Amino acid sequence: MFDIGDKVVYPHHGAGTVITKEMQTVLGESREYLTIQILHNDLTVNVPAENAEKVGLRKVIDEKAVQRVVDVLHGSGTDMPKNWNRRFKYNRDKMKTGDIFELAEVVRNLSLREQDKGLSTGEKQMFVKAKKILSSEFMYAKEMDEEEAGVWLDGLLTTASEVAVVPA
């Protein structure tokens, strides 16, 4: 399903490139493993090929999906639990899905909340991580470098917050 050179997303860490596909013996069992290099946090991940889909590994989105993600980022905020730890769990669960649109929703909601009421320390950390994961995918989908993708995402969020504040 995945080949060397494929741009993929590992839900908990972000987008990267499959750099090797090789048989490895672990605990006496021989399996094919994918080695994924994730540039934005200087990480290398080994995933058994047979478990790739189970852990949420997927190919990076295309340009059409990028536009749909931008639409999510520019959408109105979702009603969130008032209690910060319920909100944190809600957002964490969305991030775990590996779905780019769920991730974009988390980024959008945390961005709007940060500007409106501020974020708890845990939410600030989650916001930073969610933005890094999202911008790492934009980096590959839009063929940008890491810094360009981060700046582009910040620009989208600034535009989204301006749109959200403008009276109708």
The answer on 110 and 152 residing in a single domain is yes
- Asked if 46 and 31 touch (Cβ cutoff 8 Å), the reply is no
pTM for the whole structure: 0.86
Domain that holds residue 53: 7-59
Q: Tell me whether residue 1 is in a domain.
A: no
Q: Tell me whether residue 48 is in a domain.
A: yes
The answer for residues whose C-beta is within 8 angstroms of residue 143's C-beta and 6 or more apart is none
The answer on 80 and 18 residing in a single domain is no
**Residue 15, Cβ density class (10 Å: 0-12 exposed, 13-18 middle, ≥19 buried):** buried
Residue-wise pLDDT for 34-72, tens only, equals 999 998 888 999 999 999 988 889 999 999 999 999 999
Q: So what's the pLDDT on residue 8?
A: 95
Q: What number of residues does the chain have? A: 168
Distance, CA of 94 to CA of 92 (rounded, Å): 5
Single residue among 40, 59, 78 that ends a domain in this structure: 59
Q: So what's the pLDDT on residue 132?
A: 94
Return the CATH number at 49. 2.40.10.170
Q: Tell me whether residue 107 is in a domain.
A: yes
Q: So what's the pLDDT on residue 163?
A: 54
